[in-house]
Amino acid sequence: MKRTREDYTAGGEVSLGYGAPSWCRGQLLGRGGFGSVFVAKLKKPCFGFPPTIAVKSEHAASGSSSLLNEERFIRALKGCPNVVQSIGSDITTTNSGDIIYNVFLELASGSLADFIKKSGSGTGMPEFLVRNYTRSILIGLKQVHDHGFVHCDIKPHNVLLVPNADGYVAKIADFGLAKRRHARDTSGIRGTNLFFSPEMVRYGIQEAPSDIWALGCSVLKMFTGKPPWAATPKSELMSRIATDSPMIPPHISKSSPKVLELLFCEASCEEVDNYRAIESHLFTRIR
């Protein structure tokens, strides 16, 4: 049994154990199906921790293990520059006895979905930004797949933009639904319907190529500001995904449609040569 130390965070929380720095929970940044994310500030300097961090929290009583699952995958991907990094964890209890699991993450400036929304309703982002962020996500996905994992929920909401010397770098986040590649899975396909791939709908197969397809859908949303498919009843949506490819917008430059064709390729998307082919087209007109 962990001992309780007298280290109170904002809101009357008490930290359990001695492994975490002294911190205060601040503003809510976002809430999703797998926990809530807050800004947090350290009460005093701590080696290895920036003064301001993000804290993703989940009530233990919810019965969900998604945050624990997420932390395991992020720890395994430590050092991957295009995957959001964990810098520790803590367990707290509230005055009412709730147990809260907290994972400390590097602080981002928002999600890719936030930036798409800010670019204007239905107008999309400038093409040079689409290319830069797509390249970052592609590199991150290769890192995820090379470690033997499948993310299972690639979409703009699950990509964070972290400040760097050149502006922002896109980093893959939200590993709550991630799994090991080729693992026996009895829970069925997972993720967000609009980003499902054809093999998921037809055969219930969700492996690395499904992540690549979802990246293609995300690229379309960056270009257009709209989802890859129109809002339709689920049965109709599944039928369209199984038989069609999303429409490629006509206004993008000549090399970008080729990138999207490669991202929407159903065969051997996980091969190294295909990653290189996609990346070579992304570098066109940038270098």
Q: Quickly list H helices, the chain.
A: 66-76, 112-118, 127-146, 198-203, 208-224, 234-243, 255-263, 272-283
Which amino acid is located at 235 in the chain?
Answer: S
**168: nearest Cα among 218, 130, 133:** 133
Active site residue 153: yes
List, in order, residues 6 or more apart from 133 with CB less than 8 Å away.
112, 159, 161, 168, 170, 222
Report the distance separating Cα 31 and Cα 17, nearest Å.
Answer: 26
Query: Around Cβ 266, how many Cβ atoms within 10 Å?
Result: 13
Task: Tell me: is residue 56 an annotated ligand-binding position.
Answer: yes
Query: Locate tokens 């520059």: which residue?
Result: 81
CA angle 90, 95, 97 (to 5 degrees): 70
Query: Which residue in 7, 90, 153, 174 is the catalytic one?
Result: 153
Greatest C-alpha distance within the chain: 62
Q: What is the dihedral of CA 68, 59, 80, 204, to 10 degrees?
A: 60
Report the distance separating Cα 264 and Cα 215, nearest Å.
Answer: 9
Can you say which residues are annotated as belonging to the binding site for ATP? 56
Can you say which residues are annotated as belonging to the binding site? 56
Q: Which residues are catalytic?
A: 153
